[in-house]
Amino acid sequence: MITLLKKEVSTFLSSLIGYIVITVFLLINGLFLWVFASDFNIPDYGYASLEGLFMIAPFVFLFLIPAITMRSFADEKRSGTIELLFTRPLSDNSIILAKYFAGVVLVFFSLLPTLIYAWSVFQLGMPKGNLDTGAMWGSYVGLLFLGATFVAIGLFSSSLTSNVIVSFIIAVFLSLFFYVGFDFIHSLELFGSVDLFVKSLGINTHYISMSRGVIDTRDLIYFVSIIAFFILITRISLESRKW
């Protein structure tokens, strides 16, 4: 599995895909944080905070991560190499996990350069260093888990079709639904006392919780569970080719 993981990561980094994803992620966030006149603009906001980054980044990931994962299995199906892939001396789980962790590594690499933004805000604070580091690191952990969840959703979407565009659209829709869809259903107040439970099924609730700087085991269990669920149904989807 490690060999396949290294191959997947090197494929991302030896082509333009990985660098384009990282550059686009940094560019979009950088423009909103430092250039465009908006509520997220740090100099205009006048307060040493990275809150804007952690509000914008999930929506950037909503489109970038599906773009990363859309070829994972769809391209293999289209080219007819998926059977060759699964004849390797690796279990189905190992192949899926290798592709999954390769996507997570790319998400991690895209987040690393944003520490420059954190350093800049740290330096701009009055007094210097006036930055809520607890909330910042909690938000980074939450953003990493959010990205990891989108990768799992993207892999599942890619396993459903041989068309990369369809894979991309499904991944964006599912990611958007799990991110804000349950919040929307909760706002309709359709289920009475169950509404809070419905809201807790969404990613945003747990992401916001982590952004406060407190890493709650309930939030960790939620993210691990949803990732495991999508990896499981990805395996089921791929095994259906044998039926």
CA 57/CA 26 separation, integer angstroms: 9
pLDDT band at 3 (very low <50, low <70, confident <90, very high): confident
CB contact burial 86-113 (16+ within 10 A = b; e otherwise): beeebeeebbbbbbbbbbbbbbebbbee
CA 172/CA 154 separation, integer angstroms: 8
pLDDT value of position 1: 66
Which residue did the predictor score with more confidence, 83 or 158?
158
Structure tokens at 177: 């639904």
Contact 214, 201 (CB under 8 A): no
SS3 content of the chain, % helix, strand, coil (to 5): 80, 0, 20
C-alpha distances out from residue 69 to 8, 33, 171, Å: 11, 27, 9
Average pLDDT over all residues of the chain: 83
Which residue did the predictor score with more confidence, 153 or 131?
153
Q: How many CA atoms lie within 13 A of 215 on its CB side?
A: 13
- The pTM of this model reads 0.89
pLDDT value of position 146: 94
pLDDT digits 0-9 by tens, 217-233: 999 999 999 999 999 99
Which residue did the predictor score with more confidence, 128 or 207?
207
Structure tokens at 135: 């909330």
Q: How many CB atoms are located within 10 Å of the residue 83 CB?
A: 10
Structure tokens at 198: 């419905």
pLDDT value of position 48: 64
pLDDT value of position 89: 66
pLDDT value of position 174: 95
Query: Is residue 5's pLDDT more than 80?
Result: no
Query: Is residue 158's pLDDT more than 60?
Result: yes
pLDDT value of position 241: 60
CA 242/CA 139 separation, integer angstroms: 42
pLDDT band at 131 (very low <50, low <70, confident <90, very high): confident
Domain boundaries, the chain: 2-242
